[in-house]
Structure 1
Amino acid sequence: MVNTNPEIGRSVQAMGLATNYHEMGEGHSIILLHGSGPGVSAWANWGRTLPRLAEHFRVIAPDLAGYGHTQLDPDADYTMAYWVEHLRNFIDALKLDKVSFVGNSFGGALATNFNLQFPDRVERAAVMAGPVCAFDVTPSLHKAWGYSNPTPALMRELMTIFAYDPSIISDELVHLRYEASNRSGYREAYEAMFPLSKRQAIIDDWGLSDEQFQSFGNEWLFLHGLNDSIVPVEVSLRAARNITRSQARFFNRCGHWIMVEQADRFCRALIEFFSEI
């Protein structure tokens, strides 16, 4: 049977899990890491971005463990250490030695934590609104991570906190994210991933210290919407100040979804940054 679901791409075994991913283009390998919102997948986050970046680079977007169409691990302990190990195994499975990253939100924190543990395997990285430093969990992040008992109306309501202009939230996007969030097994995994009692501890664990950032010797680009209600702008500023070889770009009238709300400027910034390799 021919697959008609755009979220399903190729598959490779990583850490014993059949890991779904999308790949386009040629050249330097850039891995796109999605966020942690309900119903997220590599395709939901990067479907519009992949073709544009693939004109210049080899771009690879995996569904991280617990998300999308990657096989669920019944014994998973969804910690940052677990996701770093899955990502390392995924990179190894593709026989890649050194890669670059683009990390959206949680994906940005995954990139910084991976770089801390495996600095020799990261060429450079771009982080979009990543929770890369500790901060007080925002009401919008509580709302996103507290999503349960899925309905299309609830998903639409949730999607509006990601964007500065809620009119960009299409029926297609709401349907895609709702259907993904309501899949058996994945719904239960998400509801167990970020319990209310542990959310601040999770953000504290994901965040790196000033001294850890100061140990980074590669190039970093931080991008942040000035109207982001989920991850404070100050988080990107702090990280950028502590990494010697870093730059930061900010987008006005933009929330947590730069790749959707400012797609052209977002792609231009990435193409410029990674073309310097």
Structure 2
Amino acid sequence: MSASSSEANPEQGLSIEAAGLRTNYHDLGSGHPVLLIHGSGPGVSAWANWRLTMPELARHARVIAPDMAGFGYSERPDGFVYGMDAWVTQAVGLLDALGIQRADVVGNSFGGALALALAIRHPRRVRRLVLMGSVGVPFAMTAGLDAVWGYTPSFEAMRALLDIFAFDRRLVSDELARLRHEASVRPGFQESFAAMFPAPRQRWIDAMASREPDIRRIAHETLVIHGREDQVIPLANSITLAGWIPRAQLHVFGQCGHWTQIEHAARFARLVGDFLAEAGADEPLPLQD
């Protein structure tokens, strides 16, 4: 494991082998571990997704934010088969490599589907669950998500995507669009991204969905969060999840798109931090793994 990070590029953190995959990750703070799983936008990385959240949660917890396979600065092996099985294996492998038996898990969008699958397949590895703007239940492809997954690199395309992501257009500048476009065309980034979600794209939504009976059996305390004006993932997803998960609570941010953790950064971090702080070390373990 490398203990050095790049000052020139804050997206590059530490490096460790997780289930045979060289994984780039960030590790901040101390206390009970919280695993943050990013979304699936073009050029995304854990740092880009969670840069405002990590330092706030790290005040009271150990925050771990990896780049999942195919994203950011984690390894992109030739012939790698992207899918929920591989991503869950990587996430569990990361916990194993870091010696973490049980973590709180926070998932954003695509990361929400992964967090959900992790809690279902390895319930004893998860203490509490946070799902934000989450995939993971059946829904019809939105125009916004089709644009995200169908992104063809250009400054104009990235600028248009940022307009879809954010409710508050003041967050969307040409400089931000330039930076995110440049991130999306780094060597290997667009190639792996395009390989993940080729058209027809409804099948990838379906492949990420967990079975309703499995979701209904989730025993973990769960916080479900959504932006009311989200154009990428429908609010109905979170309403469904809050209805299916027995110990769930739902928080909806008004005047907010798909970037809850950025558009309402302070409120989001406080909401999640307070929810996780309520969990004691003796939070009951699920009956099976």
TM-score (norm. length: structure 2): 0.92
Quote the sequence identity (%): 44
Name the structure 2 match of 1:52: 56
1:104-115 equivalences under 5 Å are 104-115=108-119
Alignment of 1:167-182 (within 5 A): 167-182=170-185
Residue of structure 1 equivalent to 2:239: 237
Unmatched 5+ stretches in structure 1: none
How far 1:17 sits from its partner (Å)? 2.1
Cα RMSD after superposing both structures = 1.4
* Alignment check: 8 A CA contact 1:132 1:236 kept: no
SS in 1 for 2:164: coil
Counterpart of 1:183 (choices 149, 163, 186) is 186
Per-residue Cα deviation, 1:55-88 (whole angstroms, up to 9, x for no partner): 1111011011011011111121111111111111
Residue equivalent to 1:120: 124
Q: Distance in 2 between matches of 1:158 and 1:100?
A: 30
Instruction: Say which SS state the counterpart of residue 64 (structure 2) adopts.
Output: strand
**Number of the residue aligned with 2:138:** 134
Q: What is aligned with 2:224? A: 222
Asked whether 1:162 is paired with 2:178, we answer no
Q: Match of 2:286?
A: none
Counterpart CA distance in 2 for 1:170 and 1:55 is: 30
How far is the alpha carbon of 1:210 from its aligned partner?
2.7
1:206 matched to which residue of 2? 208
Structure 2 residue aligned with 1:16, among 20, 29, 40? 20
Q: Deviations over 1:79-108 (max 9, x none)?
A: 111111111111111111111111111000
Q: Is the 8 A contact 1:44 1:176 kept in 2?
A: no
- Structure 2 unaligned residues grouped into runs of 5+: 280-289
Runs of 4+ in 1 over 2 A off after TM superposition: 170-176
Matched, 1:68 2:72: yes
Q: Is the 8 A contact 2:108 2:131 kept in 1?
A: yes
Q: How many residues align?
A: 275
Distance in 2, Cα, partners of 1:262 & 1:180: 24
Equivalent-residue separation in structure 1 for 2:202 and 2:183 (angstroms): 26
Offset, 1:23: 1.1
Cα deviation, residue 209, structure 1: 3.1
> Within the alignment, does 1:97 sit opposite 2:101 as a pair?
yes
Displacement of 1:232 in angstroms is 0.7
